[in-house]
A = this chain, B = another copy of it.
């Protein structure tokens, strides 16, 4: 039931945000918010689009998704990431701060937490800037790809020898 509470809370936050900014409270907007808060991890617009069509049987256009997600970002209920080709989003209310570890080869994204890192970032003094949120992306090779590369390299070398 924890989950239901979160959904109710974010709906309320969204309502307040819409009121405060003179936006209308349309069913589309709430349906989008609900769907997003039932997704774990990252998603892009296309995934969200299919998900809503399939599960919620509430069809919204892509244009509306783009419009609404901007509102949700401003309401601090969603954050936007930009790894890979398309923008990725994720819910951010009641979520622990986390960082992203991205494999430059296979594109796999792993989230991790690190108290010390968070602390270091939060305590950074910024001049003439009001921090709202941050993203830390660590790029590198996941163990799987690293192993694959080692294997490939060995093969290449033996091939080179053969050629010569």
Interface residues, chain A, with chain B CB atoms under 8 Å away: 82-83, 101, 103-104, 110, 112, 114, 116-117, 120-121, 124, 126, 128-143, 146
Contacts and interface: CB of A to CB of B under 8 A. Distances in A.
B135 A139 contact: yes
Q: Give the 6 A-B CB pairs with smallest separation, nearest first.
A: A120-B120, A82-B82, A128-B143, A131-B140, A132-B140, A134-B138
A124 B137 CA distance: 13
A136 B139 contact: no
A54 B133 CA distance: 39
A101 B129 contact: yes
B130 A141 contact: yes
B133 A139 contact: yes
A73 to B, nearest CB: 8
Contacts of A138: 121, 124, 126, 129, 131, 134
A101 B132 CA distance: 11
Given A82-B82, A136-B136, A128 B116 contact: no
A93 B107 CA distance: 24
Contacts of A114: 124
Contact of A83 (B82, B129, B130): B82
A103 B126 CA distance: 13
Nearest to A87: B82
A110 B127 CA distance: 11
A132 B124 contact: no
Contacts of A136: 121, 134-137
Contacts of A110: 129
22 contacts: A82-B83, A103-B129, A110-B129, A112-B126, A116-B120, A116-B124, A117-B121, A120-B120, A121-B136, A128-B143, A129-B140, A129-B141, A129-B143, A130-B140, A130-B141, A131-B138, A133-B139, A134-B136, A134-B137, A136-B136, A136-B137, A137-B137
